[in-house]
Structure 1
Amino acid sequence: MNSSSLRALALEYKSLQEEPVEGFKVKLLNDDNFYEWSVGIFGPPQTLYAGGYFKATMKFPQDYPYSPPSIRFITKVWHPNVYENGDLCISILHPPVDDPQSGELPCERWNPTQNVRTILLSVISLLNEPNTFSPANVDASVMYRRWRESNGRDNEYPNIIRKQALQAKLEAEKEGIVVPLTLEEYCLKPKTNPNNQEPQLDMTDFYDDFDDDECSESETESQNGDGEDSGNAE
């Protein structure tokens, strides 16, 4: 076991427990193994995935952070960049090799400055803004493009996503997980304590790495679904 990678993962995990980020929750699959994490991703409000709680596993290599982890969804996710077996395909998790055939720039791929926070925030962005140029799920990609090009008249794609999000929400509720349904619930606002000390965040809710305007702007963009290139597939 690589002691430097273990230390890096332990520090990241501790940081995410002490200062969670809006949009996802993480825990260890086994308390004695920092190389396999359980991840729960909340569907952003005002998007097709609103209300959903999508579970995945994240596995880290022994030389992390020099090599990227892998992510596999356990919850069924119909998406252009998710393989049938649940494996996620996104540029940020691709090794930084020179591959002209992929259509990806080296700067779009993995580098050691990335971390779990940046990975999962990229995944959340990718959910509502898939890359359809080199999809992992061709049928989902075709269906997504047909929906976009029909200006919402063809509802096959959104109907599937909303059905999966609803099912995922019901499963989350069985586990006692509260899923945020509004932007206010999803993006926590800093609160000042009664003693007029430094602003504190409510430990019972989600934490926000961004200010309110940035979070609201991000969700608005996700609602509009104007981008397709936030994450590139293989």
Structure 2
Amino acid sequence: MAKTATSAATKALQQELKSIQKEPLEGFTVNLLNDNLFEWEVAIFGPPNTLYQGGYFKSHIKFPSDYPYSPPSVRFATKMWHPNIYENGDVCISILHPPVDDPTNTELPSEKWNPAQNVRTVMMSIISLLNEPNTYSPANVDASVMYRRYIDSKGADKEYENIIRKQVMSTRAEAERDGVKVPQTLEEYCVKASSSKDHENNNDDCILDYLDDLDPYDNNDDSDCNYNESNTDSGNEES
């Protein structure tokens, strides 16, 4: 059974990686870690017109042996200050939670992982979360309180904004070392789908379409995370 699951996961990941390499997607790039198909390094570009514009944020994705039936885990390697990212870099978001019954969890089943999800939908959700955190059940309480002050003051309280902009600036050296040109404008950020058969029916040409309706001063509860001291160990090193 385990070998069958691993074989299916290998096939799914090979197809997904090949698709992304053939048709690069906007907002992020992927590479294998140590040539391991079950561990990817994903570099996320900060979306234009957000606090994260110009940022280059590295994260690691680990896939389970029964992927896509179970969700991957995502941990940022770049130091992140965010209500829904633990101090060690682990991302807490509904789409990464397995669809199990839990009476203490307020998430809807439709918000959790399902086999139709993939790396792109995970990255879309995370990029969306960067711009619009959930402060109702935060992974980082201090960041949540600070973000709430920023929102309630309509941006007048600059503490949260200043930390994010400082972190964005600190990623530029990493991008230069990697030889990566970080997109700064909407035109640079959006990668249009080609006319290949795999994409001819895809109207979702840009991940920023996913963000169009987001109001940075409106909070959306799409993640049920609770602060856990076990997630505050080292591992979220600044790049």
TM range (shorter): 0.7 to 0.9
Are 1:229 and 2:221 matched, yes or no?
A: yes
User: Aligned pair in 2 of structure 1 residues 39, 14: CA closer, same or farther (>3 Å)?
Assistant: same
User: What is the alpha-carbon root mean square deviation over aligned residues?
Assistant: 2.2
Residues 186-209 of structure 1, C-alpha deviations (whole Å, 9 max, x = no match): 013578xxxxxx69xxxxxxxx96
State the partner residue of 1:6.
Answer: 10
State the partner residue of 2:165.
Answer: 162
The amino acid of 2:150's aligned partner reads W
State the partner residue of 2:176.
Answer: 173
Are 1:125 and 2:154 matched, yes or no?
A: no
Q: Contact 2:81/2:143 (CA < 8 Å) preserved in 1?
A: yes
Are 1:136 and 2:136 matched, yes or no?
A: no
Give the one of 34, 39, 43 matched to 1:40. 43
Count of residues in Structure 1 that have an aligned counterpart in Structure 2: 218
Measured in 2, the distance between the counterparts of 1:24 and 1:225 equals: 25
TM (normalized to structure 2)?
A: 0.84
Measured in 1, the distance between the counterparts of 2:224 and 2:183 equals: 28
Give the one of 204, 207, 210 matched to 1:210. 204
Measured in 2, the distance between the counterparts of 1:112 and 1:85 equals: 27
Mind listing any 5+ residue stretches in structure 2 that lack a counterpart? 197-201, 227-239
State the partner residue of 1:68.
Answer: 71
Measured in 2, the distance between the counterparts of 1:139 and 1:132 equals: 10
Measured in 2, the distance between the counterparts of 1:229 and 1:37 equals: 28
User: Aligned pair in 2 of structure 1 residues 222, 176: CA closer, same or farther (>3 Å)?
Assistant: farther
Measured in 2, the distance between the counterparts of 1:11 and 1:145 equals: 41
Return the offset for 1:56. 0.6
The amino acid of 1:130's aligned partner reads P
Return the offset for 1:173. 1.5
Return the offset for 1:27. 0.8
Measured in 2, the distance between the counterparts of 1:209 and 1:58 equals: 27
Return the offset for 1:99. 1.8
Q: Contact 1:44/1:219 (CA < 8 Å) preserved in 2?
A: no
Q: Within 5 A, what are the aligned runs for 1:180-199? A: 180-189=183-192
Return the offset for 1:222. 4.7
TM (normalized to structure 1)?
A: 0.86
Measured in 2, the distance between the counterparts of 1:132 and 1:209 equals: 32
Measured in 1, the distance between the counterparts of 2:218 and 2:33 equals: 36
Measured in 1, the distance between the counterparts of 2:150 and 2:37 equals: 41
The 10-residue stretch of structure 1 (164-173 or 219-228) with the greater mean CA deviation from structure 2: 219-228
Are 1:111 and 2:111 matched, yes or no?
A: no
The amino acid of 1:160's aligned partner reads I
Are 1:16 and 2:23 matched, yes or no?
A: no
Measured in 2, the distance between the counterparts of 1:190 and 1:11 equals: 17
Work out the percentage of aligned pairs sharing the same amino acid: 61
State the partner residue of 1:89.
Answer: 92
SS at match of 1:8: helix
Return the offset for 1:171. 1.7
SS at match of 1:100: coil
Measured in 1, the distance between the counterparts of 2:68 and 2:211 equals: 29
